[in-house]
A = this chain, B = another copy of it.
Amino acid sequence: MAQKYATREEDYSKWYNDLVYRADLAEHSDVRGCMVIKPYGYAIWEKMREILDVKFKETGHSNAYFPLFIPKSYLSKEASHVDGFAKECAVVTHYRLKNAEDGSGVVVDPESKLEEELIVRPTSETIIWNSYKNWIQSYRDLPILINQWANVVRWEMKTRLFLRTTEFLWQEGHTAHATKQEAIAETEQMLNVYADFAENYMAMPVIKGRKTANERFAGADDTLCIEAMMQDGKALQAGTSHFLGQNFAKAFEVKFADKEGKLEYVWATSWGVSTRLMGALIMTHSDDEGLVLPPALAPIQVVAVPIYRSQEELDAITTKINEIAGKLKSKGISFKYDNDDNRRPGWKFAEYEAKGVPVRIAMGPRDLENGKAEVARRDTKTKEVVDFEGLDLYIEQLLNDIQSNLLNKAKAFRQENTKAIDSYDVFKIEIEKGGFFLAHWDGTSETEDKIKEETKATIRCIPFDIPAEEGVCMVTGKPSKGRVIFAKAY
């Protein structure tokens, strides 16, 4: 292990980037801002995807697929939407290359210029509502409950692996409803699905709340979000669920006949999470030795490493480990036996620590004699010597313990780093240390802008779950109906 990796203390940002490489999750590609998601990283994303997909289907949604390209004119149809997305999009203008006349390679064939440019989707509201227009005539056609797993492109100027990339993978739900009430209920339901996923699978506590007008999705009447705290005290928006009102229905003229035959505009929602969750997962749990994964999302939950000198010793250990493996697999626990003879146990220990494998079993000839194995847990880095008898039950319980320990640890960290604050002067000092700050705000965009300009902090959300409390804005002294959460954010 010749390479020196940054610790969180030394350089949090470099620590993150080093970790993504060291755990073999992803890497930068030669294409500006685009990443390659490597097999181990993709396996974690696949787990997230599978779990979420089941939850979407349980709540009545089906998957479908809409075109990658959006005609330029569609983007313009919803005024605030185009403002939000036009500045950062990949534009297809031609459809053919040809050999350069000087033999230097291929060039764009000017004769293949498109009449109307196509935008690589930054999000799909416009192309989808253009289809929904033809699918919806009557209240009987509603609701439409569709989700899409797709790649999207936003031309980001500053990119970071998983957190902000030009192309990323995500899911986007797009639903159509007969009533405002039903669309709002859908928006809330999907926020709860995300919050449940974050807490129970990612072991990442989140705060549910509403975005201010400044931070709302371009085209939404209301944006709900889940916000998580990273280990540097910064906030990360982990998922959003938008109540779109009738904005896209109006932009694309989508009306339905209600039971009385009256024509009404359709109500809409959209909601999404992306490969950004990978960044959130990494920064919530990991440490200076590498990735720490909650068992619910670990591609390998248990790894076993044999410690031996002779082939004979290895054979005896392997027999025992295969027996244990069988029991673990029958409990649905994913298991890897690393008997690669080219690597030493110490190297393997470091490798699986870097990759965040929750539980490691090590077994040598003496362990075998004693009928015991050494079981190490990744989260606390503690070890126990455990009898073969009941080892499978021990590990099953241990995985549950790790899962809940990670959530509790993250909750405690967030609690320690969340403060109520009433003085803007104190706020300006405290915000530099990181963390969430519960403060009164007068409800205006002007005050929010001023705070952002002066401190780089934004209102992460108007949280749902804190008691109402009247007060005065920490900046202007104007009345406030409750505290909101300020933080610097990814």
Flag if B63 contacts A43 (CB, 8 Å): yes
A169 interface contact, C-beta 8 A: yes
List B contacts of A96 (CB < 8 A).
Answer: 86-89, 91, 155
Q: A34-B67, A67-B34, A131-B36 are in contact. Are A62 and B90 (CB under 8 A)?
A: no
Q: Count identical subunits in the complex.
A: 2
List B contacts of A91 (CB < 8 A).
Answer: 92-97, 108, 112
List B contacts of A72 (CB < 8 A).
Answer: 97, 105-106, 108
List B contacts of A342 (CB < 8 A).
Answer: 140
Query: Of residues 1 to 57 in A, which have CB atoms within 8 Å of B's CB atoms?
Result: 27, 29-31, 34-39, 42-43, 46
Q: Which range contains the number of A residues in contact with the other chain?
A: 35 or more
A443 interface contact, C-beta 8 A: no
Flag if B151 contacts A71 (CB, 8 Å): no
List B contacts of A93 (CB < 8 A).
Answer: 91-94, 108
A118 interface contact, C-beta 8 A: yes
A227 interface contact, C-beta 8 A: no
Least distance between A336 CB and chain B CB atoms (Å): 13
List B contacts of A70 (CB < 8 A).
Answer: 31
Flag if B92 contacts A97 (CB, 8 Å): no
Report A127-167 CB contacts with B as 1/0, cut-off 8 Å: 10011001000001000001000110101000000000001
Smallest Cβ-Cβ distance to A119: which chain B residue: B97
Q: By CB atoms of chain B within 10 A, which of A27, A70, A82, A91 has the most?
A: A91
A117 interface contact, C-beta 8 A: yes
Least distance between A82 CB and chain B CB atoms (Å): 6
A98 interface contact, C-beta 8 A: yes
A69 interface contact, C-beta 8 A: yes
A334 interface contact, C-beta 8 A: no
The answer for the CA separation of A279 and B302 in the assembled complex, in Å, is 43
Query: Of residues 180 to 236 in A, which have CB atoms within 8 Å of B's CB atoms?
Result: none
Flag if A64 contacts B38 (CB, 8 Å): yes
Flag if B82 contacts A106 (CB, 8 Å): yes
Smallest Cβ-Cβ distance to A41: which chain B residue: B64
Q: A88-B96, A118-B90 are in contact. Are A42 and B64 (CB under 8 A)?
A: yes
List B contacts of A69 (CB < 8 A).
Answer: 31, 34, 90, 167
A68 interface contact, C-beta 8 A: yes
Flag if A62 contacts B42 (CB, 8 Å): yes
Smallest Cβ-Cβ distance to A299: which chain B residue: B62
Flag if A118 contacts B31 (CB, 8 Å): yes
Least distance between A32 CB and chain B CB atoms (Å): 9
Least distance between A162 CB and chain B CB atoms (Å): 12
List B contacts of A169 (CB < 8 A).
Answer: 65
A120 interface contact, C-beta 8 A: yes
List B contacts of A37 (CB < 8 A).
Answer: 64-65
* Known A42-B63, A72-B108; further 6 A-B contacts with Cβ < 8 A: A29-B67, A31-B118, A72-B106, A82-B106, A93-B108, A97-B119
User: CB within 8 Å of B: which residues of A?
Assistant: 27, 29-31, 34-39, 42-43, 46, 62-73, 75-76, 82, 86-99, 105-106, 108, 112, 117-120, 127, 130-131, 134, 140, 146, 150-151, 153, 155, 167, 169, 342
